[in-house]
Amino acid sequence: MVKHALTSGMKVPATVVQRLDSLADQLQARKEAAKGKVDTPGSEKGETTDNTAPENQAGNIARELTVVHGSLVGIVAPATPRTLLLLAKEEASGSVWLFLGRVPLIRRFILMAILSLIALVAISSLTPVNGHVDWQKDQGIHLLLEELFLISAAAIGASFIALFEANRFIKDGTYDPQYDSSYWTRFVLGIIAGMILAMLIPLGKLDPSTNEIQGPMGAMTKPTLAMLGGFSAKVVYRILRRLVDTVESLVRGETRDPHWIPPDWRPHYRRRSRFAPRCNLQWWLERRRAGNVEALMEKAKNAAWCTLVNDRDLYVDCENERHYEAWEKKTYMVFYTAEYMKTIFPDAEVLPPVQPERQHCCVIKKG
């Protein structure tokens, strides 16, 4: 810690250095005395003229070391002693791989990134590989090469984020080797996320004449998606989580058009305002006695779809939801307009609700 502080230009009080030097001399003297190298004149071998008991001397040294250690920890902060000790040991080892970094984890990830890059370039140079995987038509060695191509792209993205995050901790001196396994876990999750993202997002069909993808996302290729998924596995998790919630709400049959107002099925109640027809969202909020109904209705005024969590938190369209602890999760409602459902299932027939239901019916026919 003293070497790190002095070489980094930090101010180290002279008293700390003096006390540390004195402690080093005392420890060296005790070590030599224990080996029988120091004999006090006028005494038998192994005897000492110091009136202080060895236990008391050891206790004083331990207390002094604790005080000096606490002072040095405050000086080198936010760097930690564990990180500085690891870097010092690696530098003293004299390994031929030190040019890749003084931390073993960094060296391994750099090698992994280089191998992934070599694999990406080598596989892409093969004739049948074009980065467009068709899991229904491709088979055999061609399918294997395409999948290895995507895996190598995802590995590059996962290596990039792992090196970026670890380098930040090493730069601050707060890297802790006990968390090495978490980096490798994120690396594997990144590869899986890259493959999922490449399979999840449709890019269009490949035109054999131009060898280009025809579609709204033609400029985006599956290797690019795999690399993005490897870089941010958390984003892929959120996408999958939202898809699961959406499918679950569809299966449960709880989706309703938030703006749909039922016809007045009870004419004799027209004169009574509290029985006036209301749109689905307002009807649900009033039924659940949610607070601030007017503000929630104003927020959802132009929404194509919205999510109501716990009858109070409204998220419109693709607005990100905040994290909810397990004990906070009570209700989860998704409202879709009929027009938005047609964009999800363009070949389906969306039928209006049947009295007295408030939910549309989406009929999906086998093509």
pLDDT in tens, 149-178: 889 999 999 999 988 888 888 877 777 788
Are 231 and 263 in the same domain? Answer: no
Are 213 and 258 in the same domain? Answer: no
* Residue 304 counted as domain residue: yes
Do the beta carbons of residue 279 and residue 262 sit within 8 Å? no
Are 107 and 70 in the same domain? Answer: no
- pLDDT value at residue 232: 87
Are 148 and 190 in the same domain? Answer: yes
- The pLDDT of residue 21 is above 60: yes
Are 73 and 118 in the same domain? Answer: no
DSSP 52: S
Are 300 and 261 in the same domain? Answer: yes
* Residue 123 counted as domain residue: yes
The parent domain of residue 183 ranges over 98-236
The percent of residues in the chain predicted with pLDDT above 90, rounded, is: 10
- The type of residue at 306 is C
3-class DSSP assignment, residue 165: helix
| CB-CB neighbours of 229 under 10 Å | 30
- Which token pair is 256? 């309703």
Which of residues 172, 207, 236 is at a domain's end?
A: 236
Are 128 and 232 in the same domain? Answer: yes
pLDDT in tens, 73-109: 776 676 777 777 777 776 777 677 777 777 888 888 9
Which of residues 210, 236, 262 is at a domain's end?
A: 236
Are 167 and 225 in the same domain? Answer: yes
- Number of domains present in the structure of the chain: 3
R_g over Cα of the chain: 34
* Residue 259 counted as domain residue: yes
| Cα–Cα distance list, 2 to 16, 24, 89 (Å) | 9, 13, 15
* Residue 170 counted as domain residue: yes
Label residue 41 exposed, middle or buried (CB < 10 Å: 0-12, 13-18, 19+). Answer: exposed
- Which token pair is 293? 């109904």
- The pLDDT of residue 49 is above 50: no
Are 231 and 357 in the same domain? Answer: no
Do the beta carbons of residue 334 and residue 320 sit within 8 Å? no
- The type of residue at 304 is A
Q: What is d(CA 180, CA 170) in angstroms, rounded to the nearest whole number?
A: 13
Are 189 and 260 in the same domain? Answer: no
Pick the residue with more confidence: 178 or 47? 178
Are 309 and 189 in the same domain? Answer: no
Which of residues 236, 263, 278 is at a domain's end?
A: 236
Average pLDDT over residues 227-234: 88
Band (209; pLDDT cuts 50, 70, 90)? low
| CB-CB neighbours of 299 under 10 Å | 15
Are 134 and 214 in the same domain? Answer: yes
